[in-house]
Structure 1
């Protein structure tokens, strides 16, 4: 019995010597701030432009810059052109060119038979065709109301609608080569 306890004390002593020894305390850790990981930094909330309802500086490539700061003990490596802890990253945004979603939808509902909605969005040929055929006998008007409400038809310049930042914006889910598909187990035969 006595031998058992003396072996445990020996193991505890070895553990403290190996794993709890006098290690050098890290005051800071230098990283390349263009490659920091999630959890090593925090970003400020984007500054929302009241006219476009998107982050300020949203480009036609649908990217905006936001200021970020690394965690307390993480510093940017010198020579990156940035100061000690602050850097910027790109966030996704939707470039708008002043076309209002509500205006387009109301024009489609009330004046869609005359093609005013298509003229407003920058499609003059379809607008003229709807004007001459009374909105394709009102069937084209109904289709355009649905397409504009679902935000399938956007302005002709490729921009997005101006919609409140937390408004009725639709996000379409897409699947590509980077999407992971969960394998399904085969059903058991009876």
Structure 2
């Protein structure tokens, strides 16, 4: 027969075993819950050594830039030509702004990487001197740069309206400052409407509103059509207004 001490030891071992099993079960539940948590595998929201990430679309990430972007100018740079005749994008010059405005000034230039040119003697050279008129790019003659021309700018207005155009200097024109600049220009775009056609329709079929229909002014055209040209008075007035250019296309463009 088992003694009391042996029975007590058996009961004690059973109690310890149950406690150990409960602790293991609890630990197992914690581990399973952690592994199934959606935060596992994700980086912590804050880190002491983490660097700030720029998310603004204005500053692109360095990895998005193509390694050949810096050499894209080489495709439009003639090889073996005279250095002074190279486009502005093919050379790098040290411009100084203490020259006399409107007068020629000499600047030290060199061809960019991958661009080969020659001097006046026909020998290949890297550094050369370039004579440029002392003026900023936005001061050039309008024939020496190209500007954007919007189609939502009213040309017929008093006072005349301006718009901010983005202008770019032509390749073979050299100037001081940025080659792409903003400039306020008058609205001078055209939608393809002819002044002679509008005037001819106003004289011949103006009583039926044909001139207004042609210019895209449907409300005025219907008004003239159902009022027989305002009994002739409206027709005569429109002939005068279109003749002097006061009445123009409905989209705000100029006649051609």
TM-score range (shorter-chain normalised) is 0.3 to 0.5
Q: Which has the higher contact order (CA 8 A, sep 6+)?
A: 1
Q: Which has the larger radius of gyration?
A: 2
More helix by share: 2
**With structure 2 as the length reference, what TM-score do the two structures score?**
0.36
